[in-house]
Each structure stands twice: as C-alpha cells, then as structure tokens.
Amino acid sequence: MGEHVTATVIGVDGTSLPAGADAALAEAKLVVGARRHLDAHAPSGARAVELGELDSALDELTTAVGPAVVLASGDPGFFGIVRSLRERGVRPVVLPTVSSVQRLVAACGRPWDDVAVVSAHGRDLGPALNVCRARRATVVLTAPGAGPAELAAGLDGWRRTLTVAEELGGENETLSTVDLTEGAQRTWREPNIVLCQEDPDSVPGKGWHAGGEPTPRDGGWALPEENFAHRDGMVTKTEVRALALAKLAPRPGALVWDVGAGSGAVAVECARLGAAAIAVERDPVQCVRIIANASAHDVDVRVVEADLQDTVADLPHPDAVFVGGGGEQAVRSCARQEAGRIVVALASLDRIGPARQALQEFGYTVDGTQLSSARLADLPDGTSRLDATNPITLIWGTKK
C-alpha cells in the first residue's frame, strides 16, 4: 500500500453505519464494496470499485492515492476482509458493527456462546459439515455451492434442523426454520447464513468457553473400559484405544468411521475429541449399547445397524477409519474410500498379513505394532502383581 494511502474498513449493518463512518466516507477518494453497499453509501465525489474479484479490488486499494474506504457486511474482522488486508501488509482502521452471526442467533432468541462458527467460503464443505454433524449448534457462513441445500443434503442421517437467514439485514430479509428434507429441496436466495441445531427448543447449558466446551473434555482420552457398557469384555482395551486415537487423529472438522464398532468406545472417544463419528455395527444389541455409551458421554454418534458392505455406498466420505471387526473384506471396503488414515485392530496373527497387503494395494504406507500390556492388580496380602492382557496388533495405513 502506498505511503499516502489510508484505509478504513466500515462494517455495514443493513442500511446503518457505525460511529465514525460518515467522517471517513466524506474524506474518501476511493470506496470499495459490494454493489448494494456502494449504491447506499458511496459519496458522489469518490471513485467506486465494486468488490467482485478480491485480488483486483485489493490491487485498487494498494495503488490508490488518498484516503480509501472498504464497505463490508457486519464485522469485517470476523471471517472478513481484514485478514486479506493484513496479508498485504495493511493495518486498517476498522469500524465494526453487529456480525451476521450475532444477528442470526439473536433472531432465533437464543444465547450463542455455545455455538461453533465455521466458514464454507473458498474451501471444501466437508469440514463444516463434520462440525455440524458433531456439534449440537453450529453457524455456517455459506457460499455459492456450499449453501443451505448442500448442508441439508450432507446432514442426511443426523437429527438436525436448519434456520436459514436470506438477505440478512436487507429489505427482503427472510428467516426460515426447516427440516433437512425441506432444506435440501428448496432454492435459497443469496446471501444467506445458516444456524444448524440438533434441537432448536433446547436451552444450552451455562458454559465458560466460546463455541462450547473445548476438546478434549474432562477425563482426557483412552478412558477405562468400565466407562463403557459392553458385553463380556468386548470393548477395545484402553491401551489399544490410546494408540488407535493417536493414529486416527480425530479432531473438529474430521469424520471417523468405527467399523465393527462393538460397544462403540472408539467412536465415542473420537466424538469426545471433536470429530464427527459414525459407528457401523450389525448386532442390534450392540447398537443399543453404542447409543447408551454416546449418551453417557454426552456426544453425538451416528449408529448404522448394518454390515459395512451393505451400507458403505450410503455413508459420507471419512477422513479416518477404525476397523475393529469384519476381517480382510472390511479392510478392503474401507481402503476403497481412500480415507487419509485407516487403523486396524487384530487379535488373530493370521489376519495381519492380508490386512497389511490390502492397505498397500490401495496405496497406503503401512506400519504397525503389537501391544502387550500388563496391569497392576492387587493381591490378598496388599501387595501387587502384573496381570497380562491379551496381545493386540495394530496396523495403520496413511495415504501417500
């Protein structure tokens, strides 16, 4: 930016401007903004540049002589143009107003300190979808091709309701609350913003951290087996889960499949670490246990009661997969999805070679280890001994 250029970024709230905006506009030689903002606020004596292609508009700013103003909706520092200006070495004067997120949630009459906020501008929709799948309340800053209809379609299988604000702050502002079926079928006006909720009528608990409880939650991870309902010890052991979680790398924005989920301990732990989680299990009794375990740990795990081969084509693409049961065929079915990471737990030595080969055939770099642990156990006289657990082999593949 030239030394004679100053830039003031003004947040526009509908038709109103924040304090100090009129003075900045009166001095401006160049005003950059969306057409509706220019028509409403650009002074007649200034050169007006419509904010279409961002790089072109920034070039105009960096070569301008005299005071420049940028008009942007809401709070320009919240997923707004301030970042792009700072990347160009500009430290603008910012006059913010109420953000679109604040306006939307206020229109719904709910607090928003628990609401996660994600952006779909200029990036893949997948991470935003996965946050909506994992969290009970999420605002999505939408974009063309990543709007309410695409969100609703991607959330099929989860219990979610969308509140969509079209032309928020404008004369034709419309607020609609719809289920996923209606949301996917409707045509939505631009611009829009979406609040995705599990239950619009629930009152969120009092928290302390903006965006909801941070991950990991209290208690850490690789929780003791007794923290999960399970059948006759059929639960992934704590030590195995600890290494599996390290290799799966569950995190906000990611989707993890837990295949042959059993008690669903891995899926629940991934959800506790912020990931969206799907547990695939064919045993209906185990599916009930998964639901109970997810509820006990206050996380949302989608449970699919089926063989993986019967449902794999209907599931959203995973970022990571844990295969706790199902054998070589399950490993191959998962490898075809080309997730970034696949972790396989094996009690049988005979299955190690075929599983490793299956991952390699689909382009994975494969590593593994055998876990043999011995836990402290009390003896009657008050001393301790080591109680060995059955060895488990973990192999993991990462995409080259």
pLDDT in tens, 299-328: 999 999 999 999 999 999 999 999 997 788
Determine contact, residues 99/78, Cβ cutoff 8 Å: yes
Residue 65 has pLDDT above 90, yes or no: no
Contacts of 191 by beta carbon, 8 Å cutoff, 6+ apart: 73, 142, 166, 167, 168
Determine contact, residues 291/169, Cβ cutoff 8 Å: no
Percent of the chain residues past pLDDT 70, beyond the cut: 98
Q: How far apart are CA 113 and CA 101, in angstroms?
A: 11
Instruction: Tell me the mean pLDDT in the region 92-104.
Output: 94
Q: What's the Cα-to-Cα distance from 95 to each of 40, 102, 105, 153, rounded to whole Å?
A: 17, 16, 22, 37
pLDDT of residue 1: 40
Residue 4 has pLDDT above 50, yes or no: no
3-state SS class at 239: helix
In which band, very low, low, confident or very high, does the pLDDT at 57 lie, cut at 50, 70 and 90? confident
- How high is the mean pLDDT of the chain? 93
Number of neighbours of residue 51 by Cβ within 10 angstroms: 20
- Dihedral over Cα of 98, 101, 107, 108: its sign: negative
Q: How far apart are CA 231 and CA 289, in angstroms?
A: 9
3-state SS class at 37: helix
pLDDT of residue 69: 95
Instruction: Tell me the mean pLDDT in the region 324-339.
Output: 91
pLDDT in tens, 207-234: 899 999 888 878 889 999 999 999 877 8
pLDDT of residue 5: 52
Phi-psi bin for 249: left (phi > 0), alpha (psi -120 to 50), beta?
Answer: left
Contacts of 296 by beta carbon, 8 Å cutoff, 6+ apart: 227, 228, 229
Residue 48 has pLDDT above 80, yes or no: yes
Instruction: Tell me the mean pLDDT in the region 29-38.
Output: 92
Cα radius of gyration (the chain): 26
Global pTM exceeds 0.85: yes
For 5-98, which CATH class?
Answer: alpha beta
Instruction: Tell me the mean pLDDT in the region 141-160.
Output: 97
**For 96-129, what is the HEC assignment?**
CCCCHHHHHHHHCCCCCCCCEEEECCCCCCHHHH
Select from 302, 307, 303 the least CA-distant residue to 329: 307
Q: Which residues pair with 179 in a beta bridge?
A: 161
Q: How far apart are CA 309 and CA 365, in angstroms?
A: 24
Tell me the two tokens of residue 106.
């206020």
Instruction: Tell me the mean pLDDT in the region 26-39.
Output: 92
* DSSP-assigned letter for residue 204: P
Determine contact, residues 328/358, Cβ cutoff 8 Å: yes
In which band, very low, low, confident or very high, does the pLDDT at 6 lie, cut at 50, 70 and 90? low
In which band, very low, low, confident or very high, does the pLDDT at 14 lie, cut at 50, 70 and 90? confident
CATH code at 102-197: 3.30.950.10
Helix (H) or strand (E) holding 164: strand 161-166
* DSSP-assigned letter for residue 143: B
In which band, very low, low, confident or very high, does the pLDDT at 338 lie, cut at 50, 70 and 90? very high
Residue 104 has pLDDT above 60, yes or no: yes
Q: Provide the residue ranges of all domains of the chain, joining segments of one domain with +.
A: 5-98, 102-197, 225-399
Place of tokens 């390699």: 360
Q: What's the Cα-to-Cα distance from 380 to each of 212, 377, 384, 387, rounded to whole Å?
A: 46, 10, 9, 14
* DSSP-assigned letter for residue 388: E
Is CATH 3.40.50.150 what the domain over 225-399 is classified as, yes or no? yes
pLDDT of residue 64: 76
Instruction: Tell me the mean pLDDT in the region 144-163.
Output: 97
Q: What's the Cα-to-Cα distance from 103 to each of 177, 244, 276, 321, 387, rounded to whole Å?
A: 15, 42, 27, 38, 59
Q: How far apart are CA 114 and CA 385, in angstroms?
A: 46
Number of neighbours of residue 78 by Cβ within 10 angstroms: 17
Most confident listed range (88-102, 107-121, 228-242): 107-121
Within 13 Å and on the Cβ side, how many CA atoms surround 376?
4
pLDDT of residue 2: 43
Tell me the two tokens of residue 5.
């250029």
Select from 344, 359, 353 the least CA-distant residue to 393: 344
Instruction: Tell me the mean pLDDT in the region 99-105.
Output: 94
Tell me phi and psi for residue 376, to 5 degrees. -65, 135
Higher pLDDT residue, 337 or 218? 337
Burial code (b: 16+ CB inside 10 Å, e: under 16) for 177-202 equals: ebebeebbeeebeebbbbbbbeebee
